[in-house]
Amino acid sequence: MIIKKPFPRYHTSVFLGLVFVLSALGSTVWADSSTSSEVGPTFFALWEKAQKGKTGKLGYHYYWDDGFRIDSPGKKLRIKMNLLINLDAGYIDAENDLDEAFSDLEGSHFELRRLRLLVAGTVSDNMLFRVQFEFAGDEFDMKDFWYGFNGVPYLGSLLIGYLKEPFSLEELTSSQSITFMERALPTRAFAPARNAGIKIRNTALSDRLHWAGGAFLSIGDVKNEDDLFDVFSEAVGYDLTARIGGIPWYSEEDGKLLHLGISYSHLFRDDNESDARARFSSRPESFLPDERLVDTGHFFIESGDVTDLELAMQSGPFSLQGELFHAFTDADKEGDPHFWGFYLYGSFFLTGESRRYNIARATFTPEEPQHGFRPRKGRWGAWEIAFRYSYIDLNDERIKGGKERNITVGLNIYLHRKVRLMFNYVNARVEDRAEPGIHDDSADIFQTRFQITF
């Protein structure tokens, strides 16, 4: 759902106030014994009861532990369910050419960015599965639908289904954990995200080295109106994708690490086929408008190669992260264009926390504040400030999709590890786009998000 002009600006302020109140209340939902006096004995008793759970007549145990869980007798079958909610609001002010070219860009917006249901679990000791659906705006998307096996000799884990290709640190970091409201320009444009296929992943050197690879049918997003059989029959080709990432320097106690990684994807296409097409585009690091300020449009290719170099450093509350992307295409009719982009950002926790890192997956995980949001006790959760510069160039040979450079300033308030408020200001400048014609114009984006996970 998007609300555009003449939606009054004060509605955004009302939304922010409501979110802050809900957040303050929501932060008490996940209590522990140290907070029982604050939330009251009745609530704490109910909370303990939920954690203890109930065992049914057939021996299944139903309880709450970081989500709703179901365990079979003997725990051969274990299921976990979570719900993620992202509510976004903001205002966009665009200069003349951008305003004329993209009618939905300027104005006030409110959107249900994500309503995501996750069901994951294990069967016996070695089989695992994951199903994830998302409602975003007025669309219904399938995000994950796969099963797999752990402990496969030499391979580690084998996953089969609809899942993320192993490419890019930021893309593989969950949306619950990314530092800004949206991923950077080149990540959105070049990372292949989810497709149908087979993936293997494993670790080495005491989990300090992670590697993954797979073969994927390029079907793209699967939405509610799509017929699953049509999606597979209309695939534009297939990808071979691999990633290696590791931490040559890591100290969990001190919150210090150095992450290095590289990703590569080869795109198999056939320019003699009518559906052998490629497209690189990116939103302006905001999902409030359904607009892509830089866009190559669809063009026919025979093959392509996409590379990505990853870097992340952390020392206590300070962290630095960046990636460099290149896309090379074999497209004779367009002069074999290649495109590129990068982002670099730094973040700092004013309250002393450090970003959490999953060494087995070589990605970052949701943050945990040292103290929950308790103003009466002088506890204000965790506060993080961040600054990002991102750039993408989609102009080469006969393709003139435009260039964009963004500056983003962010503030994250972690009221609890399950509740977060996000505030982003984005200055997006677009240059040299042919269709629609944009010479050099910019847009200012003010946006905020309320995020809660059950």
CATH 3.10.350.10 assigned to 10-453: no
Q: Beta partners for 149?
A: 127, 158
Please tell me the distance from the alpha carbon of residue 379 to that of residue 31, in angstroms, as a whole number. Answer: 14
Q: Where are the beta strands (DSSP E) in 156-278?
A: 156-164, 194-204, 209-217, 222-223, 238-251, 256-268, 277-278
pLDDT value of position 124: 85
pLDDT of residue 215: 98
pLDDT value of residue 225: 56
Non-local (6+) Cβ contacts of 343 within 8 A are: 170, 184, 185, 186, 187, 322, 323, 388, 389, 390, 391
Lowest mean pLDDT among 94-103, 132-141, 278-287, 428-437: 132-141
Give the model's pLDDT for residue 6: 41
Q: Which residues partner with 265 through β-bridges?
A: 241, 306
Distance CA 270, CA 300 (A): 8
User: How far is the C-alpha of 234 from the C-alpha of 219, rounded, in Å?
Assistant: 7
* Mean pLDDT on 184-193: 96
**Could you report the per-residue pLDDT of 352-406, keeping only the tens digit for each?**
999 999 998 999 998 888 888 888 887 889 999 999 999 999 999 999 999 999 9
How far is Cα 96 from Cα 206, in angstroms, rounded to an integer?
56
pLDDT at res. 224 = 63
Among 69-83, 136-150, 310-324, 412-426, name the one with the lowest average pLDDT. Answer: 136-150
Q: What is the mean pLDDT of residues 1-5?
A: 44
Q: What is the pLDDT of residue 325?
A: 98
For residue 3, pLDDT beyond 90: no
Q: Where are the domains of the chain?
A: 10-453
pLDDT in tens, 12-57: 444 444 444 444 444 444 444 444 444 455 656 776 788 888 998 8
pLDDT category of residue 305 using cuts at 50, 70 and 90: very high
